[in-house]
Structure 1
Amino acid sequence: MRSSGPRRRFTLLSRRGPTAALLIAPVAVAGWIFGADASGAGATRDAPPVPKARPATVQESPAPTGPAATSVVQILAHPDDDLFFMNPDTRQSIVSRSRLTSLYLTAGESDGVNAARTGPLAPSVRPAADKARYAEARQNGIRAAYAEMATGDRTSPWRRTAIETAGGGAAELDVLAARPEISLVWVQLREAGSVSGDRPVSLHGLWDGRVTELPSQLASGSPVERDFAYDKKQVVDTVAGLLERFAPTHVRMQDPTPGLVTGTDRPTDHQDHLFGARFAQAALARYAATPGHPPFSVQNYLGYFTSGLPHTLDPETAAAKLRTMHTYAWMDETNYCGDEAGCGDRKVAARPGGHGWTRSVRYTRGESTSWVQPGRDGELWAFSVLDTRLAVWQRGARGDWTGPELLPGAGLDSGVTSVRLADGRIAVFATRTSLGAAPADYRRDVVTAVQRTPGGAFGPWLSLGTPERDDATGLSDISAPAATVDRAGRITVYLRNSRYSLSSISQQGDGSWSSWRERGGRNLHGDPAVASDASGRQHVFVSTPLTVWSWTQAEPGAPLSGPTATGLPPTTLTLSAAPEGDGVRLWFRKPASGAVRTVRFSGPLASPVTELGGVAGFGPVSASGPDNALLAVRSGTGVPGTYLPGPGGTGTAGRSAGTGQWLSGGPLFTGAPAGAAAGVGAIGQDGRLYWSRPDAPQAWRPVD
């Protein structure tokens, strides 16, 4: 929402002299590495009635058109959550010159001490606590990190202004002068100051109604000059208004359902991450109902818990991510920014890699490779989630595409999977979030929509419920569903539940559905991968941090047995499976490498692992075409990578020969690629479906 009324320009030059425009904000590990008092003690300000903001004119980049019409908005709880948990995606947006806006909900003021608490970097004399100045130092570190990623110069200047918010207060907007398509927005609310401690004055307390307002915590150099306080609605209004202002086609946000530490009632992630993400969900629901905006996709990112899982990034990418953290953390301590508050986050300087966070990035939703499905009469269907609704594209037998059509029914989480039924109809499965009227009403369930006739319109969404008792029991931490169809036409859906075991629900002979059933397994992570072999036996696979477990039918229609240890080495948790003769083939990635690996199962045991190398990157592998020969992945640069087998055959023989070739090119995309015999698709971050034919795997073109 654009500001109105008199305008006033604020610049770093006017506030701190000629070098101040270089300020950068540091990364915050907010409470994971250190504890802090969020009671308001220290250098905070009283919160008077919400003032009328002092808006200012700021030069913003014009709305891009054509292939460059990508606008990415990142919604973070703290300064540094993007650098720890969203990079390298953030860097790839910057390199691609997409419009990028990072929106920080809290000031990240912690205990106000800009110094390492312990270790060799801990000062002999601990600095005095000053929350306003520490918040400013973190801002300086972020500005430096973004400037360096964008221009190679951490001192590249920013324009800092105050803007009105739809919540009735003001926020700081920073625009990188050399790259005005890059913006930072500082909402500057007070943070919790503790990972999971009882802090009523926090996003958590505001969401649950324990406090009626959350006050601001302004950075010492902010052009926002008067404090304010927001109630719950005003926070949602503020974020929704900023979404309206920056009109995203793609939104990155933290995980609103990260689960609980086993045996406790403590979330596996920082409470600000969790409840900041739930405020983001509420704002996105509000924004999605606003007419005239471009359709947007959403990608969710795992936070602290990624430290206990296999690393996903190759050494080169991890090293680049760590270098950015060094910039944010102000490792050299030279006062290059000219600000007495400091040029970065010295708490992070004690451990710039976090708890292994710079060695991974991990999505928590939207990684299905089964969202493309052939129809009965030669047509092709593709599905995604845009505006939290099901987006449907259709390709006719002549190769002409139509869509996307957004079907009724909002609240869908990112990522859908689909199966083709025996009569040629297609069924789509997803998870859906219901925010509810009260905090305790927050809920996720599994839903399905089925074509009324082959090639026809889809019927309404049907809820299959959830194996979860309530949100508080496991924070609604469920995987995406995976579905398979038996020879009798009955569907079974598999789901990893918040207890890190496997659940399933099956369709009955009369079309009704059973109750959710526990299938066992422990320490399961990622989404289940399912496939049926040529005889109709179902195979289910789920990763643990150490190996892969499987469930298998001895014969079609027999009870599912398992879990069985496959003996496979650790994976990066994302799996995909497809039929291959009398067995199924499984694809996965090598940790800390990105190399693609594959094995074949003819029962519970796997063949030797074949390594196909790859183009680095992370995420699942899509297999399509004859003998599943055409593979597609997310490459190390964020664009699609495709594998073409060389001489020696298109199937297993060609893969085992190791003579294939990896190619990369195409758009930055969201989720995972998916394919069929006619080619491979990817949903671009501009909200468009891109398609690549098997004979031209690098020629990615939007279908509209």
Structure 2
Amino acid sequence: MAIGRRQLLSSIALTALAVPVLAKGTATRAAAAAGSTAAPAAGSGPLFMQVVAHEDDDILFMNPDLSNSLANGTPSVTVFVTAGNGTGDPCPTVCWDPAGEPLRTWNRQMGAINAYSRMTGVGDTDPSTDEVGHWTAEAWTVAGKQVERYVLKDRPVHLVFMNLHDAQLAGVLGGATDTTVVPVGSPMTGPSTFTAADVVEVLRQIMVTYQPTVLRAQDDLPDSRYSADHGDHVAAARFAGLAAAKYGGQLIQVNYRDYNIGDGPVNLDPATVGDKGVFVSEYASHDHSGNYSQSWYARMYYRWSRGTSWAGLNQDGRPQVFVVRSGALYTNWRQADGTWSAPLRMADPGGWLVPALAVGTNADGRLQVFGRRLTDHRIVSLAQLTPNGAWASSWTDHGNPNAGLGNEDQVGVPAVANDQDGRLEVFVKNGGGGVSRTGQTAPGGAWSGTWADHGGSDVQDPVTAIRNGTGAIEVFASTRTGILGWWQSAPNGTFAGPGQIPNAQPASPPKAALDQDGRIELAYREAGTGAVLVSYQTQVGGAWSQSPASLGGHLGVGEPAATTAGGQVVLFERNRGGGVSTTAQTAPNSGYGAWQDLGGTVLDYPSAVVDGAGVLHVFAIGTDGRVYFRAGTTPTTFGDWQALPV
């Protein structure tokens, strides 16, 4: 994908700071000029901003996304909100001793420096060797507070340390104040005192300075079914969200699960696990107290997966895409003359939307987009007023299947399918870990206003739904050990299940597509390898293959996108290198051919549709936040990546 690069962050003259290589634990740091102007020019190219609580959180929980974007040369700034002073060498003998805070903080900073040096390819292969000589350092005043900023020489990578106290960030979010740690040898002239409003404003002004296209943050709402998270992680994620809301614009936010990734299936391939372990070892050479679960090395999960259902078709066959930016919904559509519209901000959803969307089509051809509000945990939707036309000025509130039960916040993101008579049905993971459904009472008409609980347990987000060749809806959801299915006993009828898909071992949600003969093909990642597996029906609306077919692929994480073009099922994956790869059936109702790397560097998961003329489109979001697409004249022949207007 031809995505233009922002000029190096150091393109504005950086203060020349001579920072010598220091041995681990050295109690001095090269003094930095307090008035340095180490800031990037405003630009329109890609820039990632990571906001995390501790100096190892990004390395552990955002990799391989982080290392891939650094290796690709995408400009990056990471903000570490706390000093991490509870651990770090010389722990464990003096952990939490206030007298050791400056040295422990310094060492955790050096761990981050080492890891980033290695991830960008400028560091050596010895984790015990400090890499600080590759960086310049300064005290930077932001919103009246002093922070530390490290800039990688000749590379577009900045690290910002705010240095609030470890394990106290949740208290600050709740109304307490905190005075920062001043690390050993710091260029700062003294500590700063922060309230919650100060943290938000500092983060907001950092966003104003760097103008990120993508914000990476931690888990803002951990899944309560699994391992507890650190209060600092959640607080840092919520501070990042509050700052992003005040910053506004068209910022795209990606949140990552933290400690509880260890409770899910292994979803990284062995080579990626090895690479991640190397980066962690670079950090850990300065924090030997770190209790690093090996399970974290082998996994990376998003808290709110964008999914692969964010594109749809107008009644006349023109594609339309929908993207959440700064909690609001934006859309681009192909116009009658074949050009694409600029992104339109749609009606205010009444609260912050998570990135995941599902696009449905009413019986009369009107599109309807479904989302989940993070602010009150309700499922909401926005519909076209007329086919191919304008959109409503207000959203429909579909409520929450667990209203009043105390677990409303654990409800997942929506999936949508049509009954045979055209009524829309919406499915979500409910607060208890099963699947719930609500639907229209008449085609294109009112909604029932109630949710039905269809059972199940251990369901992972998102679910997928499709109408099979008999006209009945089938619904699928991964658990940590298999895939569950629900099905209508007859078109427009009641639902049965759940039942197990035979021998499925998923490490991602599944995605469904129809064979030409009406059988369902269900694609998902294999636990432990990252390969794409396909389970398939052996008869329309009936039994399933006893073993999934392994299609291999170019690895990576997350659910594939799937559609049917020319009678052939076509799959797309975000591959190990961060691009898009595809495979297709060699003929209708048959096996799959070789994988093709479509190139590009994309943010997360693609979406695919076939337009009214039979042309296949795959859409993806670039690191610059823009939507790109490639058009396929056949299931295996594609044009170049094209950017939609901004």
Distance 2:114 2:89 in 1: 20
The residue identity in structure 2 corresponding to 1:688 is: R
Distance 1:468 1:538 in 2: 23
Count of residues in Structure 1 that have an aligned counterpart in Structure 2 = 605
5+ long unaligned stretches in structure 1:
1-6, 26-42, 44-52, 118-122, 193-201, 331-343, 435-442
In the TM superposition, what is the alpha-carbon distance from 1:208 to its structure 2 partner? 2.9
SS state at 2:353 partner: coil
CA root-mean-square deviation:
2.8
Distance 1:86 1:468 in 2: 31
Distance 1:678 1:398 in 2: 18
**2:448 matched to which residue of 1?**
513
What aligned pairs does 1:187-586 form with structure 2 within 5 A after superposition? Answer: 187-192=162-167, 202-209=168-175, 211=176, 213-261=177-225, 268-288=228-248, 295-330=250-285, 344-348=286-290, 351=292, 354-409=293-348, 411-434=352-375, 443-459=376-392, 460-469=394-403, 473-474=406-407, 476-509=409-442, 511-580=446-515, 581-586=517-522
Distance 2:386 2:525 in 1: 38
The residue identity in structure 2 corresponding to 1:684 is: G
Distance 2:643 2:618 in 1: 12
- With 693-702 and 84-93 compared, the bigger mean Cα shift is at 693-702
Q: Deviations over 1:400-449 (max 9, x none)?
A: 21121121316221121101111111000111222xxxxxxxx3221100
The residue identity in structure 2 corresponding to 1:189 is: L
Compared CA separation, residues 671 and 218, structure 1 to 2 (3 A): farther
- Would you say the 8 A contact 2:473–2:487 is kept in 1? yes
- Would you say the 8 A contact 1:297–1:685 is kept in 2? no
What aligned pairs does 1:50-89 form with structure 2 within 5 A after superposition? Answer: 55-64=34-43, 69-89=45-65
- Would you say the 8 A contact 2:473–2:491 is kept in 1? yes
- Would you say the 8 A contact 1:531–1:577 is kept in 2? yes
SS state at 1:283 partner: helix
Distance 1:221 1:672 in 2: 46
Match of 2:591 among 638, 654, 675: 654
**1:341 matched to which residue of 2?**
none
The residue identity in structure 2 corresponding to 1:483 is: V
In the TM superposition, what is the alpha-carbon distance from 1:632 to its structure 2 partner? 1.1
Matched, 1:146 2:106: no
What aligned pairs does 1:126-141 form with structure 2 within 5 A after superposition? Answer: 130-141=100-111
- Would you say the 8 A contact 2:504–2:535 is kept in 1? no
Compared CA separation, residues 560 and 126, structure 1 to 2 (3 A): closer
- Would you say the 8 A contact 2:535–2:544 is kept in 1? yes
Distance 1:698 1:359 in 2: 35
In the TM superposition, what is the alpha-carbon distance from 1:245 to its structure 2 partner? 1.1
Distance 1:54 1:11 in 2: 8
In the TM superposition, what is the alpha-carbon distance from 1:604 to its structure 2 partner? 6.2
The residue identity in structure 2 corresponding to 1:653 is: S
5+ long unaligned stretches in structure 2:
1-12, 125-130
- Would you say the 8 A contact 1:311–1:359 is kept in 2? yes
The alignment-based identity, stated in percent, is 27
SS state at 2:68 partner: helix
- Would you say the 8 A contact 1:448–1:461 is kept in 2? yes
SS state at 1:653 partner: coil
**1:3 matched to which residue of 2?**
none
Compared CA separation, residues 665 and 129, structure 1 to 2 (3 A): same
SS state at 2:410 partner: coil
- Output the TM-score relative to the length of structure 1: 0.81
Match of 1:588 among 524, 532, 538: 524
In the TM superposition, what is the alpha-carbon distance from 1:630 to its structure 2 partner? 2.5
In the TM superposition, what is the alpha-carbon distance from 1:116 to its structure 2 partner? 5.5
Match of 1:636 among 576, 579, 582: 576
Compared CA separation, residues 644 and 116, structure 1 to 2 (3 A): farther
Distance 1:170 1:76 in 2: 18
Matched, 1:606 2:544: yes
In the TM superposition, what is the alpha-carbon distance from 1:491 to its structure 2 partner? 1.7
**1:107 matched to which residue of 2?**
83
The residue identity in structure 2 corresponding to 1:498 is: G
Distance 1:505 1:126 in 2: 51
Matched, 1:620 2:620: no
- Would you say the 8 A contact 1:673–1:681 is kept in 2? yes
The residue identity in structure 1 corresponding to 2:135 is: W
Distance 2:115 2:324 in 1: 32
Distance 2:303 2:494 in 1: 30
Distance 1:688 1:387 in 2: 14
Matched, 1:687 2:625: yes
- Output the TM-score relative to the length of structure 2: 0.88
- Would you say the 8 A contact 1:371–1:418 is kept in 2? yes
Distance 2:597 2:210 in 1: 34
Q: Deviations over 1:473-524 (max 9, x none)?
A: 4482332211112123322211112322212222223513322232211111
Distance 1:318 1:453 in 2: 50
Distance 2:460 2:602 in 1: 26
SS state at 2:604 partner: strand
Compared CA separation, residues 542 and 494, structure 1 to 2 (3 A): same
**1:28 matched to which residue of 2?**
none
